């Protein structure tokens, strides 16, 4: 079993993380290095297609069982429940008002697809298999956290909070933003296609979605590093108590995810990925939903927190840490 230091060092010296670091440095120094927006979007679409299709193919190979239903139920429970923990911690440890605390909490019950993709790359680098239906868990965890965050904000208003009333709860615009966002549609659709076509589909698609995957991920993480580096200047709006929250909340979520995944007998790879899902914070779907449905919450707080604090922490430290703890748990 590798030590945590060996895992962390190996992860830091992997091409994907080094390209991310290059992007952070270049972005922070205001370099004119940039990935054209169209190419960046194309890379993200490719990664979601590849992850979704491979997950569906794995599920087709292994079949649908009661274990799959239990895992999907676990995904829903995590996404509904983690924002409650995050909200309680935010209200106790920071000075955030109700709308901002609810908005931040929603981010920490939803998921970061990019962090999940990086984690699959970490496992693939070490030839560690995982259950294909974990991809379906990813897709299910996008939305419930948004509902919980909005309910937390509404509950405070109903209890006589002085916070201004938010936009209509889960309006048509919010529903469209959540359920018909490109990432959700492509991830879910690719998973379904991989499931339908099974092994034959994998044979056809393997040259496009297996061999190029790591190189595409490296370029995409370079682009994400540029974005994070440019966001580092926003720390003044976040504040150090919130920066600390952006580090310890992923650790709490990961521990809950690891224990829950172990309880339903997932493999080492599956446990690691569930920990990553529970530890990550959305910075695509949830910010869009919060802008529409909770406009009094400040994007200058929740976007840098999820993108410039939690995302790099998980990428550099969290993923090898969660894998090491999963190894320890499975060895008990």
pLDDT (tens digit per residue) in 189-247: 888 898 899 889 989 998 988 888 888 888 988 988 898 888 777 666 668 889 999 99
What domains appear along the chain, each with residue ranges and CATH number?
Answer: 4-23+35-331 (1.20.1530.20)
The closest alpha carbon to 273, from 139, 87, 99, belongs to 139
Q: What's the pLDDT at 225? A: 86
> In which band, very low, low, confident or very high, does the pLDDT at 97 lie, cut at 50, 70 and 90?
confident
Supply angle C-alpha 46, 195, 206, rounded to 5: 45
The closest alpha carbon to 188, from 113, 108, 254, belongs to 113
DSSP character at residue 317: I
Q: Is 63 helix (H, G, I), strand (E, B) or coil?
A: coil
- Residue 80 vs residue 12, higher pLDDT: 80
End-to-end CA distance of the chain: 13
- Residue 8 vs residue 186, higher pLDDT: 186
Q: What is the mean pLDDT of residues 279-292?
A: 82
Instruction: Check whether 295 has a pLDDT greater than 90.
Output: no
Q: What's the pLDDT at 146? A: 84
What is the chain's Cα-based Rg? 19
Instruction: Check whether 135 has a pLDDT greater than 80.
Output: yes
Selection from 2-11, 36-45, 176-185 with the highest mean pLDDT: 36-45
Q: Which two tokens stand for residue 107?
A: 């981010």
Q: What's the pLDDT at 106? A: 92
Q: What is the mean pLDDT of residues 57-80?
A: 85
Q: Which two tokens stand for residue 183?
A: 């990432």
Average pLDDT of the chain is 84
Q: What is the mean pLDDT of residues 111-138?
A: 89
**DSSP-assigned letters across all residues of 270-296:** HHHHHHHHHH---SSHHHHHHHHH-TT
pLDDT (tens digit per residue) in 257-272: 999 999 999 999 999 9
Give CA–CA dist 188/190, Å, rounded. Answer: 6
Q: What's the pLDDT at 22? A: 93
Q: What's the pLDDT at 8? A: 67
Give CA–CA dist 75/129, Å, rounded. Answer: 20
Q: What's the pLDDT at 61? A: 76
Question: Is this prediction's pTM over 0.75?
Answer: yes
Please state, for a pLDDT cut of 70, what percent of the chain lies above it. 86
Instruction: Check whether 287 has a pLDDT greater than 70.
Output: yes
Residue bearing tokens 């920990």: 275
């Amino acid at each position: 079993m590798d030590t945590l230091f060996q895992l962390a060092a190996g992860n830091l010296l992997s091409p994907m993380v080094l390209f991310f670091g290059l992007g952070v440095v270049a972005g922070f120094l205001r370099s004119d290095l940039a990935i054209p927006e169209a190419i960046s979007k194309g890379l993200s679409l490719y990664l979601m297609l590849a992850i979704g299709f491979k997950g569906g193919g794995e599920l087709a190979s292994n079949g649908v069982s009661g274990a799959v239903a239990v895992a999907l139920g676990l995904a829903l429970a995590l996404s509904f429940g983690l924002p409650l923990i995050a909200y309680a911690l935010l209200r106790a440890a920071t000075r955030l008002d109700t709308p901002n605390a609810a908005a931040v909490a929603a981010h920490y019950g939803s998921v970061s697809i990019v962090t999940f993709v990086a984690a699959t790359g970490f496992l693939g680098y070490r030839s560690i298999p995982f259950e294909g239906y974990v991809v379906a868990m990813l897709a299910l965890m996008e939305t419930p956290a948004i509902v919980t965050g909005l309910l937390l904000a509404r509950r405070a208003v109903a209890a006589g909070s002085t916070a201004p009333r938010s936009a209509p709860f889960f309006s048509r615009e919010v529903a469209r933003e959540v359920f018909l966002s490109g990432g959700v549609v492509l991830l879910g659709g690719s998973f379904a296609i991989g499931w339908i076509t099974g092994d034959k589909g994998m044979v056809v698609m393997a040259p496009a979605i297996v061999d190029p995957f790591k190189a595409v991920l490296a370029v995409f993480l370079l682009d994400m590093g540029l974005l994070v580096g440019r966001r580092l200047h926003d720390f003044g709006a976040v504040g150090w108590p919130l920066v600390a929250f952006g580090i310890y909340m992923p650790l709490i979520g990961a521990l809950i995810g690891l224990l829950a995944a172990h309880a339903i007998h997932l493999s080492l790879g599956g446990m690691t990925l569930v920990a990553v899902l529970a530890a990550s914070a959305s910075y695509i779907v949830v910010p869009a939903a919060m802008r529409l449905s909770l406009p009094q919450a400040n994007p200058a707080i929740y976007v840098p927190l999820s993108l410039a604090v939690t995302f790099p922490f998980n990428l550099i430290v969290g993923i090898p840490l969660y894998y090491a703890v999963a190894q320890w748990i499975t060895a008990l």
